[in-house]
Amino acid sequence: MAEFGVATPSVKVVGAKSATATGKGLSVVALRKTYGDVVAVDEASMEIAAGEFVTFLGSSGSGKTTTLMMIAGFCEPDSGTITVGGLDVTRLAPQKRNLGFVFQQYLLFPHMTVQENVAFPLTLRGVGKDEIRRRVGETLEIAGLSRFAGRKPRELSGGQQQRVALCRALVYRPPVILMDEPLGALDKKLRDQLQVEIKTIQQELGLTVIYVTHDQEEALVMSDRIAVMRNGLIEQFDTPRELFERPKTPFVADFLGAANFLPGRIEQQDGEHTLVRLDGSGGLIKARRHDLATGTHVKVAVQPGRLRACAPDDGFCTGTVETATYVGTLVRAGVRIDGKDAPLLRLEVPAGRGPVAGERVGITADADDVNLFADEQAG
C-alpha cells in the first residue's frame, strides 16, 4: 500500500487519458425514473469521457443511486437511453452489460477465498487457468493484498474486504466501473486512505469510474467532474473547481461551499464588475460581471473562506464578532452585521490573524469570489 501513500489525488492526467484509458466513454440521455408520483430521476443527461472519474453527489433521495442503478441495469428506466462505448445497453440485463460494480457492503462471496472471489468474473469469461492466476495475482498486487489470497472474506477487515471487492470489479477490465458509496461503511482515516488508493489505481489504469457519494469532500478529492444532484435533477455537472468557484445555482453554492447568502439589488454594472447594494446593511459589494439586468433582486453568495476581515468601514459591511472558534489552522468566526435584519456572516480566516469575540470588524471579499443569483422570490 505504501506506493499509493505518496500519490496526490489532485494530480490530473487529462493529457494522458486518451492514450492510456482502458475504460470506455458512457453517455446518458434524458434518463427518467418514477416511483408512483415521485420522480426519482428527471431527464438526466450527461457525457462521460473514457478514463474519467465522475461522481454523483447529493443527499439521500437526490436520485444519485437510482441513476447509478439504472446504468448498472438493476433498475429499469421509464425512458431515456444509456450507451457504453457507443453501444446501447438501456434494456440489457445487468450480466450482459459487462460493467464493474463496487457495493457499499462489499458483497464478497463468503464461501470463496480472496483468490477465488477475484477470479470469479474471469472464470465466467472463459479465461484460461494460468492467465487467471497471472491476472488475479497482478490485481491483488496492485491493491497490496497478495498475502491475503488464501483467506476467506470474514478473516479480513472492512478496508481489506473493500479492496478485494475493488479488485474483483477491475480484474476483467470492464469499460466502466460503478461504485455505490464504497467507503460509506469505513471509518474516516481508512476512508481518506482508500480515496487516494482508488484514485491512484483509476489514474494508473485509465479506468472510467462513476462514483456515488453524499460526502462533498470525498467528491472534491476524487473526481474529475462532479454531478451535483437534487430532487432527481442534475443541478450542475462540472469540475470540482468550477463547482466550488462558479456555482450555477444557490443550492450548489450552499452544498459544496457552505456559502453565506445576502439579499441585495444590482445597482450598477460596467464591463468587468457588477455592484450590488445589500438590503439590510446598505453596503455596496463588488462582484465579477454577471449577465443580469440592473435593478434585479439577487442573492449574493460568498464562501466563508473567501471573506476577509479588515478595518471597520473599509469593507462592504461592518459588524461585531460574536463567536470565534479555533479549529487548528483556521479560526471560524461568526460576525453579526450592522443594520436591518442583522444577518450573521460566517468567516474562515487563517489562525493567528484571527478576530476575537466582541471585536468590531469590516468585511471584504475579492470581486471574483462573489457569486450572484437572480432571486425569483424577491422579483
Partner 1 sequence: MAATLTAGAPARPRKLLASRRTRVGILYALPVVVYLLVLFVYPIFSTLLLSLKDADGSFTLHWYADALTGVNLSVLFTTLRISAETAVLSLVFGFVLAQAITRLKPILAGLAMLIVVVPHFVSALVRTYGWIIMLGDKGLVNETLAAMSVPGAPFQLLYNELGVVIGTTSMMLPYTVLLLYGVMRGVDRRLMAAAASMGAGRVTIFRRVYLPLVAPGLASAGLLSFILSLGYYITPALMGGPDQTMIATLINQQVTKENQWNGAAAQGVILLVLTLAGLLLVKAVTSLGASRKKRSAS
> For the window 102-141, what string marks contact with partner 1 as x by the rule CB under 8 A?
-x-x-x-xxx-x-xx---xx--xx----------------
- In the complex with partner 1, the residue whose CB is nearer, 33 or 230, is 33
Integer Cα distance of 140 and 29 in angstroms:
36
Indicate whether 89 belongs to the interface with partner 1 (CB under 8 A): no
What region does 4 belong to: left with phi over 0, alpha with psi -120 to 50, or beta?
Answer: alpha
The SS3 call for residue 62 is coil
Indicate whether 100 belongs to the interface with partner 1 (CB under 8 A): yes
Q: Which of 61, 80, 85, 94 binds partner 1 (CB under 8 A)?
A: 94
User: The C-alpha cell of 17 is what?
Assistant: 487519458
Instruction: Enumerate residues 6+ apart whose C-beta is below 8 A from 189.
Output: none
- In the complex with partner 1, the residue whose CB is nearer, 9 or 73, is 73
Q: Which of 22, 61, 74, 214 binds partner 1 (CB under 8 A)?
A: 74
- Which residues are 55's β-sheet partners? 211, 226
Choose one: 101-109, 205-213, 335-343, 362-370; the region binding partner 1 (CB under 8 A): 101-109
Provide the minimum distance between the beta carbon of 170 and partner 1 in the complex, in angstroms, as a whole number. 11
Indicate whether 85 belongs to the interface with partner 1 (CB under 8 A): no
User: How far separated are the first and last CA of the chain, in Å rounded?
Assistant: 56
Q: In 3D, which of 80, 82, 38, 40 has the Cα closest to residue 63?
A: 40
- Which residues are 26's β-sheet partners? 48, 84
Indicate whether 249 belongs to the interface with partner 1 (CB under 8 A): no
Q: Which H or E run contains 82?
A: strand 79-84
Inter-residue contact 118 to 136 (CB < 8 Å): yes
- In the complex with partner 1, the residue whose CB is nearer, 38 or 124, is 124
The SS3 call for residue 138 is helix
Integer Cα distance of 101 and 220 in angstroms:
21
Indicate whether 169 belongs to the interface with partner 1 (CB under 8 A): yes
Site for partner 1 in 260-319 (CB under 8 A): none
Indicate whether 72 belongs to the interface with partner 1 (CB under 8 A): yes
Site for partner 1 in 137-166 (CB under 8 A): 149-150
- In the complex with partner 1, the residue whose CB is nearer, 44 or 68, is 68
Number of neighbouring beta carbons within 10 Å of residue 6: 8
Q: What residue ranges bind partner 1 (CB under 8 A)? A: 72, 74, 93-96, 98-101, 103, 105, 107, 109-111, 113, 115-116, 120-121, 124-125, 149-150, 168-169, 172
